[in-house]
């Protein structure tokens, strides 16, 4: 279980402006939690605090009752995997090597049969088997993103944190990615927290929504309650229009001044 | 294994079809990498043996021939007796410098900074002089080379650990700052050392000179049998930890996500690097660009990020550069010491890098 208690965080010690203000939440187990909010709301910062990449200034994050700051880095990395919002590598390596590094917490770089098997599974999950010997720099943005996700999958942790994993993915792979996440929760009992920009993806696939605004949790609840204009308009500071498709609300984003947009509202 | 084939593989994705050419498998890539390593190592070992023979030859027969005297067996033996410690010292130091430079580059994520470039060896020399200056008049203690070495190395480890861990924590990504810092530090230390040397007594001065004016032609022989085993232990210890360095090449953040405590690694490696730099500087003096040359050369020929082959090849390249270079200099009785040549080539390399990528 992951529990966040009264976490405060700010990047500069002098300024009074906080990036996170008194954030508390309990991560829903065996479910997909979608973290939504405008740019700069503090979503990435919250994930960094929860994974102890950026220890909190005050407050605690408890993983199974233990303070993550006091856990050994290796123990933590066997429990929690974190895909950062942007990946830069200064090194020329192949997809296969990258995914193999996902096993480092378990085998310290000495891969055994079990580790090779997990690597295979992760590669085939992300449909990368054919690209495994390509260097990352020779791949498209989306393929690269999939390689990093495969590394996270190979890490095989009960908790998976993904910061905007749909970045760079086209529609096909975005949908496939969300299906894979659903599968991971249903078949392997994983707990997933994912930052999503597309509200409709959150509405369709998440079990729980956490909406952040200005470093605070603005609203938390199941999608049917959270994905409403009452919650989301203030969170994104935008007037959403909603249409219905097969009984599900679909959010339409458009420029109110654009005359053509009448068409989409119907 | 060409790109075209790989692209085909990506699109067609039917590797089993019989008329399709057999595609490169993972094992084949690994095999090719290994073959490359074997090829490179055999060349390197050949060169190494050549270097050792040439070194001994140039100090014995070549010299005798130049002087127009015959080489007597007893004279040969006595020169050999003196050449072996020099070879051991050069080999151990060069290997260690390369290993330490590579681990440093991995830790700070730079391909051109090395410990000597940011002033590690200056700190060592400064510490030694300061110790003799402060305590030399009252006690013979620090004039004993072994004691002086241990104390200087200890002080250096502490000083450089605190200095660099503070600096690296704040400006790890600021290479220009680190370079400037190293430059200024070396300047301050060398002029400070010179100042202390002018105001100390003549006896102390000669002692300090003996301690810090070590060079390839003037290896500190009293220290060899203490320092070389330590060098080997340290080199192999770092080689043994090659898997952790591999993960660190992914960057500090990824490494942390994979369970490597980056801050702990940084601190631990700074201590190892400080020890390594003390060992090699005490034995053969400062060789600013040897590590840089060896590591970049190994990266260029191996084209891998894996540290085990990189450590081994860069270590051997450093050893060869030094021994073969020294042998050639002795052979042709060149006026230029090999360190000058190494620094010249190393400097040019940095220059090339900066101009090519327009960054440090
Ligand atoms: N490394 C950093 N240094 C200083 N400020 C930062 C840093 N990272 C993020 N911030 C600031 O913290 C706030 C929250 O950022 P972030 O957590 O990345 O938001 P989100 O992921 O929700 O878009 C923003 O105002 C941003 O400018
Ligand atoms: Mg973000």
Instruction: Give the CATH number, domain containing residue A30.
Output: 3.40.50.300
Q: What is the pLDDT of residue B139?
A: 63
Q: Can you tell me the distance from the alpha carbon of B232 to that of B283, in angstroms, rounded to the nearest whole number?
A: 14
Q: Does the pLDDT value for residue B214 go beyond 90? A: no
The domain in which residue A158 lies consists of 2-265
Q: Can you tell me the distance from the alpha carbon of B186 to that of B192, in angstroms, rounded to the nearest whole number?
A: 10
Q: What is the pLDDT of residue B2?
A: 38
Choice from A45, A53, A86, A195 to test ligand 1 binding pocket (greatest atom count within 8 A of CB): A45
> Which residues of chain A are within 8 Å of residue B264 when distances are taken between CB atoms?
73
Dihedral sign (CA A119, A122, A127, A132): negative
Q: What is the pLDDT of residue A123?
A: 94
Beta strands in chain B (DSSP E): none
Min mean pLDDT across A59-63, B207-211, B312-316 is at B207-211
Q: Which tokens sit at A48?
A: 């960094």
Q: Does the pLDDT value for residue A260 go beyond 60? A: no
User: pLDDT: is A161 or B187 the higher one?
Assistant: A161
- Cα B186 → chain centroid: 18
Q: Which position has the token pair 């010179």?
A: B194
For A51, the 3-state DSSP assignment is: coil
Average pLDDT over residues A210-232: 90
Pure H helices in B285-337: 290-302, 307-332
Q: What is the pLDDT of residue B76?
A: 86
Closest chain A residue to the Cα of B253, Cα to Cα: A53
- With DSSP H G I counted as helix, E B as strand and the rest as coil, what are the percentages for chain A, rounded to 5? 40, 25, 35
Q: Does the pLDDT value for residue A158 go beyond 90? A: yes
Tens digits of per-residue pLDDT, A165-198?
Answer: 998 888 988 998 899 999 999 988 999 999 998 8
What is the percentage of chain A residues whose pLDDT exceeds 90?
A: 62
Across the interface, do A131 and B246 touch by the CB < 8 Å criterion? no
Q: What is the pLDDT of residue A255?
A: 58
Domain boundaries, chain B: 34-357
Nearest to B259 among A73, A96, A131 (CB): A73
- Which candidate, A179, A161, A166, A170, places its Cα nearest to that of A77? A161
Domain count, chain A: 1
What is the rounded average pLDDT for all residues in chain A?
Answer: 89
- With DSSP H G I counted as helix, E B as strand and the rest as coil, what are the percentages for chain B, rounded to 5? 80, 0, 20
* Highest mean pLDDT, choosing among A244-248, B71-75, B83-87: B83-87
Q: Does the pLDDT value for residue A107 go beyond 60? A: yes
Across the interface, do B251 and A105 touch by the CB < 8 Å criterion? no
Q: Does the pLDDT value for residue B23 go beyond 80? A: no
Average pLDDT over residues A65-81: 94
List Cα–Cα distances, B226 to B77, B207, B231, B280, in angstroms. Answer: 24, 19, 9, 12
Q: What is the pLDDT of residue B360?
A: 53
Q: What is the pLDDT of residue A256?
A: 60
Q: Can you tell me the distance from the alpha carbon of B192 to that of B213, in angstroms, rounded to the nearest whole number?
A: 15
Q: Does the pLDDT value for residue B170 go beyond 80? A: no
Q: Which position has the token pair 């890098």?
A: B353
Tens digits of per-residue pLDDT, B307-336?
Answer: 999 999 999 999 999 998 888 888 887 667
Q: What is the pLDDT of residue B11?
A: 37
Closest chain A residue to the Cα of B243, Cα to Cα: A109
- Which candidate, B23, B39, B43, B37, places its Cα nearest to that of B303? B37
- The helix (H) or strand (E) run that includes residue A152 is helix A141-155
Dihedral sign (CA A54, A57, A60, A66): positive
Q: Can you tell me the distance from the alpha carbon of A159 to that of A195, in angstroms, rounded to the nearest whole number?
A: 14
Q: Which position has the token pair 């030399």?
A: B136
- Which candidate, A217, A223, A226, places its Cα nearest to that of A32? A223
Q: Which position has the token pair 């001065």?
A: B205
Q: Which tokens sit at B290?
A: 């040897």
Q: What is the pLDDT of residue A44?
A: 94
Q: What is the pLDDT of residue B338?
A: 80
- Cα B247 → chain centroid: 22
What ipTM describes this predicted complex?
0.87
Give yes or no for a contact between A77 and B259, defined as CB atoms under 8 angstroms apart: yes
| Residue A41 CA, closest ligand 1 atom number | 22
Q: What's the CA-to-centroid distance between A19 and ligand 1, angstroms?
A: 7
- Which candidate, A104, A89, A77, A85, places its Cα nearest to that of A137? A89
Q: Does the pLDDT value for residue B302 go beyond 60? A: yes
Min mean pLDDT across A106-120, A143-157, B136-150 is at B136-150
Average pLDDT over residues B74-91: 88
Q: CA dihedral in degrees (A244, A245, A248, A251; nearest 10)?
A: -60
The residue count of chain A comes to 266
Q: What is the pLDDT of residue B113?
A: 84
Q: Does the pLDDT value for residue B18 go beyond 60? A: no
Confidence of residue B24 (pLDDT cuts 50, 70, 90): low
Q: What is the pLDDT of residue B20?
A: 38
End-to-end Cα, chain A, rounded Å: 44
What is the rounded average pLDDT for all residues in chain B?
Answer: 81
Confidence of residue B182 (pLDDT cuts 50, 70, 90): confident
Architecture of domain B34-357: Orthogonal Bundle (1.10)
Average pLDDT over residues A61-76: 93
Q: Can you tell me the distance from the alpha carbon of A253 to that of A265, in angstroms, rounded to the nearest whole number?
A: 10
Dihedral sign (CA A189, A194, A200, A203): positive
Min mean pLDDT across A146-160, A232-246, B234-248 is at A232-246
Q: Which tokens sit at A127?
A: 């449909």
End-to-end Cα, chain B, rounded Å: 33
Closest chain A residue to the Cα of B111, Cα to Cα: A90
Q: Does the pLDDT value for residue A41 go beyond 80? A: yes
Q: Can you tell me the distance from the alpha carbon of B56 to that of B62, in angstroms, rounded to the nearest whole number?
A: 9
What is the percentage of chain A residues whose pLDDT exceeds 70?
A: 94
Q: What is the pLDDT of residue B9?
A: 36
Q: Which tokens sit at A146?
A: 């999939």
Q: What is the pLDDT of residue B165?
A: 77
Q: Can you tell me the distance from the alpha carbon of A171 to that of A193, in angstroms, rounded to the nearest whole number?
A: 20
Give yes or no for a contact between B333 and B66, defined as CB atoms under 8 angstroms apart: yes
Q: What is the pLDDT of residue B120?
A: 80
Q: Can you tell me the distance from the alpha carbon of A13 to that of A224, in angstroms, rounded to the nearest whole number?
A: 39
Average pLDDT over residues B20-27: 51
**What residues does ligand 1 touch, defined as CB less than 6 Å away?**
A 11, 19, 37, 39-45
What residue owns the CA closest to ligand 1's atom 10? Answer: A11
For A248, the 3-state DSSP assignment is: strand
What residue owns the CA closest to ligand 1's atom 2? Answer: A11
Residue B87: count of CB within 10 angstroms of its CB: 20
Across the interface, do B251 and A109 touch by the CB < 8 Å criterion? no
- Chain B positions contacting chain A at CB under 8 Å are 3, 6, 9-10, 13, 24, 26, 29, 109, 243-244, 246-247, 249-251, 253-254, 256-261, 264, 303, 305
Q: What is the pLDDT of residue A142?
A: 87
Q: What is the pLDDT of residue B10?
A: 37
Q: Which position has the token pair 């080997």?
A: B232
Q: What is the pLDDT of residue A12?
A: 78
Give yes or no for a contact between B321 and B94, defined as CB atoms under 8 angstroms apart: yes
- The helix (H) or strand (E) run that includes residue B246 is helix B242-248
Residue A67: count of CB within 10 angstroms of its CB: 14
Q: What is the pLDDT of residue B140?
A: 65
Min mean pLDDT across A111-125, A192-206, B41-55, B150-164 is at B150-164
Q: What's the CA-to-centroid distance between A84 and ligand 2, angstroms?
A: 9
Q: Can you tell me the distance from the alpha carbon of A233 to that of A214, in angstroms, rounded to the nearest whole number?
A: 14
Q: Can you tell me the distance from the alpha carbon of A86 to that of A145, in angstroms, rounded to the nearest whole number?
A: 9
Q: What is the pLDDT of residue B68?
A: 81
Across the interface, do A133 and B24 touch by the CB < 8 Å criterion? yes
Q: What is the pLDDT of residue A120?
A: 94
Q: Can you tell me the distance from the alpha carbon of B185 to that of B119, in angstroms, rounded to the nearest whole number?
A: 6
> Which residues of chain A are within 8 Å of residue B13 when distances are taken between CB atoms?
130
Q: What is the pLDDT of residue A257?
A: 58
Q: What is the pLDDT of residue B103?
A: 95
Q: Can you tell me the distance from the alpha carbon of B360 to that of B354, in angstroms, rounded to the nearest whole number?
A: 6
User: pLDDT: is A241 or A225 the higher one?
Assistant: A225
Across the interface, do A78 and B259 touch by the CB < 8 Å criterion? yes
What is the percentage of chain B residues whose pLDDT exceeds 70?
A: 86
């Amino acid at each position: 279980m992951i529990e966040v208690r009264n976490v405060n965080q700010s990047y500069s010690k002098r300024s009074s402006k906080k990036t996170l203000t008194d954030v508390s939440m309990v991560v829903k187990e065996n479910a997909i939690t979608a973290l939504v909010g405008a740019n700069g709301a503090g979503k990435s910062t919250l994930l960094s605090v929860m994974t102890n990449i950026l220890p909190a200034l005050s407050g605690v994050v408890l993983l199974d009752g233990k303070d993550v700051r006091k856990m050994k880095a290796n123990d933590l990395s066997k429990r929690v995997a974190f895909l950062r919002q942007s990946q830069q590598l200064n090194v020329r390596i192949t997809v296969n090597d990258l995914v193999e590094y996902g096993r480092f917490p378990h085998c310290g770089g000495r891969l055994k049969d079990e580790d090779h098997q997990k690597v295979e599974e992760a590669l085939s999950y992300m449909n990368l088997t054919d690209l495994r010997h390509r260097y990352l720099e020779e791949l498209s943005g989306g393929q690269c993103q999939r390689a990093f996700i495969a590394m996270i999958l190979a890490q095989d942790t009960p908790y998976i944190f993904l910061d905007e994993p749909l970045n760079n993915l086209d529609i096909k792979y975005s949908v496939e990615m969300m299906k894979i996440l659903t599968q991971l929760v249903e078949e392997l009992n994983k707990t997933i927290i994912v930052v999503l920009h597309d509200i409709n993806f959150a509405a369709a696939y998440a079990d729980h929504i956490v909406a952040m605004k200005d470093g605070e949790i603005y609203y938390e609840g199941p999608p049917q309650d959270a994905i409403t204009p009452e919650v989301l308009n203030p969170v994104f500071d935008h007037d959403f229009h909603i249409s219905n498709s097969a009984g599900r609300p679909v959010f339409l984003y458009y420029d109110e001044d654009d005359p053509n947009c009448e068409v989409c509202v119907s | 294994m060409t790109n075209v084939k790989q692209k085909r593989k990506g699109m067609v994705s039917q590797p089993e079809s019989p008329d399709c050419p057999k595609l490169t498998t993972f094992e084949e890539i690994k095999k090719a990498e290994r073959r490359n390593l074997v090829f490179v190592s055999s060349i390197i070992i050949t060169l190494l043996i050549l270097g050792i023979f040439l070194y001994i030859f140039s100090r014995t027969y070549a010299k005798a021939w130049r002087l127009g005297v015959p080489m007597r067996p007893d004279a040969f033996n006595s020169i050999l007796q003196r050449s072996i410690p020099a070879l051991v010292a050069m080999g151990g130091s060069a290997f260690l410098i390369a290993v330490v430079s590579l681990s440093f580059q991995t830790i700070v994520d730079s391909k051109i900074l090395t410990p000597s470039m940011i002033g590690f060896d200056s700190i060592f020399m400064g510490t030694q002089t300061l110790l003799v200056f402060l305590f030399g008049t009252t006690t013979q203690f620090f004039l004993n080379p072994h004691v002086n070495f241990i104390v200087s190395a200890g002080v250096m480890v502490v000083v450089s650990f605190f200095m660099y861990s503070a600096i690296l924590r704040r400006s790890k990504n600021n290479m220009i700052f680190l370079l400037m810092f190293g430059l200024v530090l070396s300047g301050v230390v060398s002029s400070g050392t010179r100042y202390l040397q002018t105001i100390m007594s003549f006896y102390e001065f000669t002692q300090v000179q003996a301690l810090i004016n070590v060079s390839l032609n003037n290896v500190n022989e009293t220290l060899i049998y203490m320092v070389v085993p330590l060098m080997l232990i340290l080199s192999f210890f770092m080689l043994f930890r090659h898997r952790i360095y591999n993960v660190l090449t992914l960057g500090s953040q990824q490494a942390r996500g994979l369970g490597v405590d980056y801050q702990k690694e940084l601190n631990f490696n700074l201590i190892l690097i400080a020890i390594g730099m003390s060992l090699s500087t005490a034995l053969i003096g400062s060789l600013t660009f040897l590590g840089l040359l060896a590591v970049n050369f190994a990266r260029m020929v191996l084209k891998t990020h894996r540290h085990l082959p990189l450590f081994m090849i860069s270590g051997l390249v450093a050893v060869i550069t030094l021994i073969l270079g020294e042998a050639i200099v002795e052979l042709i009785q060149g006026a230029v010491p090999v360190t000058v040549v190494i620094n010249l080539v190393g400097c040019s390399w940095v220059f090339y890098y900066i101009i090519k990528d327009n960054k440090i």
